Amino acid sequence: MPHTSILRFGLILAAALVLLAGLGTVAFYLSRPQALPLPEEFDKPVMAAQIEFLADALRRSAAQIAAHPQTLACFVSAAPAVCQTQAANLHALNQDATVLFVTAEQNQLLPGFLPGDTRRLLAGAGGDGTGATATATFNLSLSQPVMDSDGKRLGFVIVEQSVPQLQSLFDTLPLPDAAAYAELQQVQTGDTSMVLMRRGNQAIKRDAHPTLIALAGTPWQIAVWRPITPVVESVAPYAIGWLVASLVIAILVMATMLSVRNRVTDSLRMLVKFTNDLRLLRLRAEYPVSLAEFKTPLETMLKLGKVMMGRQKEVTTQARMDHLSQVNNRRSFDEKQKELFASLKDGWSHSLLILDIDNFKQVNDTFGHEAGDQLIIKFGDALKACLRNSDFIARLGGDEFCVLFPFTPLERAQELAERLRAKMPESIELIPGVTHKLSWSGGLSEYSRDDKQENEALARADAALLEAKRGGRNATRVRAAA
């Protein structure tokens, strides 16, 4: 798998989420209501119902007239008096209507009752007489066949009524919205229609499809156009929504990733710090990290590190200790001596005292090697008990010890050596029941800036020790630098 950074991962995640948001937006867009249905009142507007009611009343009126015995008598007799009486009756019944009697096939008017504009009505009275026709003056005309008792058609009754209130009725037509447009149309033959009235914004007629509401019993219909929202306009809110969502997603994801990256980086830095501290054997009490994933491993590593450091310290200490006397060994002495010798140039004074147990060989020979070991161990313990913490005690080998007095001039070292001699125990129990009278000889000297090597002071102290031995033991001799 190729290496990828947290930020690159964040970019991929943000891109995936933005894509997902895009798909969601598209689905949301596609599932939106395509076009609002016309308001409920448009199923059958009040004006349409009123016009239909008018047409229905006219049809019933025409049917009543056609079935009336006097109308039949008029058609059968063709007597003007009969017909005129009937026409007068009908006129009294409906003063707004014009009623004509037309004989079948001949389109011949029966005499004596020709009110109104008969020529125009005759022109529209063709066919089987059951259809409705109208003119642009908003007259509603109906023809009703007149049948005799044998079912033979004798002619037609034509009823025409002006509908002056049509304009005001159409004006009551509620438009679905301010930008809508409506027409009252008269259906012609074929698909054509004639516009009788208009309302609203005619400009939208070009782009929209009308909703048609037929007016039953009349040759009219209402056509309503509603504005269509352009595609760009309808897509824009969704696109803007998606862009805003994408921006928010991108900001959130990248902010989260940056925060995670910083936390991981901080935790890794702490890990590196821990490793460095472990290398320098200087572990801190704790290594705080903000990520829980790093907390437990670091705590475990810290515990292990402390154990390792403890062991390391033990090993280091052991490497510098004399295993028998538990004071510093020769190697450690050499290092310390070198360190003190180097500091002479800064004006410091350091002294040293070599100590050798008197007649040690005799102890070995008399009481055995183990008893000799005990003497070495207890001599070392006694030195530790009688000297200052700042004094450096080492066993150089055999029964020979050396004490370094750092930052101590020779005169002061002499006092310390005398005090040591006074404080050291007089006897030491070698093995249970066997006590040895302790006696030791010492050679004291000091480090000098004139010395070429650090060992020259040791050689002087050694010479002083030899002098003490030769002088009868149990004494300390001093050999100052030349």
* Contacts to ligand GTP by CB under 6 A: 324, 356-362, 364, 369, 372-373, 376, 398-399, 469
Which among 266, 310, 308, 302 has a CA at the least distance from the CA of 285? 302
Q: How far is the CB of 469 from ligand GTP (least distance, A)?
A: 5
Residue among 99 and 355 whose Cβ is closer to ligand GTP: 355
| Residue in this structure with the two tokens 């001799």, named with its chain if needed | 477
Based on DSSP, count helices (H) and strands (E) in the chain, helices before strands.
13, 15
Q: How far is the CB of 473 from ligand GTP (least distance, A)?
A: 6
Q: How far is the CB of 399 from ligand GTP (least distance, A)?
A: 5
Task: Provide CB contacts within 8 A for 318, sequence distance 6+.
Answer: none
Residue among 308 and 321 whose Cβ is closer to ligand GTP: 321
Q: How far is the CB of 359 from ligand GTP (least distance, A)?
A: 5
Tell me if 219 sits within 8 A of 134, measured CB to CB.
yes
Q: How far is the CB of 375 from ligand GTP (least distance, A)?
A: 8
Tell me if 116 sits within 8 A of 160, measured CB to CB.
yes
Q: How far is the CB of 336 from ligand GTP (least distance, A)?
A: 22
Task: Report residue 172 CA to chain centroid gap.
Answer: 56
Residue among 201 and 474 whose Cβ is closer to ligand GTP: 474
Q: Count of CB atoms within 10 A of residue 167's CB?
A: 12
Position closest to ligand GTP via CB: 372
Q: How far is the CB of 453 from ligand GTP (least distance, A)?
A: 25
Residue among 117 and 373 whose Cβ is closer to ligand GTP: 373
Q: Count of CB atoms within 10 A of residue 439's CB?
A: 15
- Label the pairing between strands 400-405 and 427-431: unpaired
Q: How far is the CB of 428 from ligand GTP (least distance, A)?
A: 13
* Radius of gyration over every alpha carbon of the chain, rounded to an integer in angstroms: 65
DSSP class per residue in 114-163: --S-HHHHHHT--TTS-SEEE-TT-EEEEEEEEE-TTS-EEEEEEEEEE-
| Residue in this structure with the two tokens 């002088």, named with its chain if needed | 471
Residue among 24 and 397 whose Cβ is closer to ligand GTP: 397
Residue among 127 and 471 whose Cβ is closer to ligand GTP: 471
Q: How far is the CB of 327 from ligand GTP (least distance, A)?
A: 13
What 3-state DSSP class applies to 113? coil
Q: Count of CB atoms within 10 A of residue 386's CB?
A: 18
Count CA atoms closer than 13 A to 251's CA, side-chain side: 6
Residue among 46 and 324 whose Cβ is closer to ligand GTP: 324
Token pair for 224: 């309503």
Token pair for 411: 């005169």
Give the Cα separation of 342 and 344 in Å (integer): 6
Residue among 277 and 373 whose Cβ is closer to ligand GTP: 373
Residue among 126 and 398 whose Cβ is closer to ligand GTP: 398
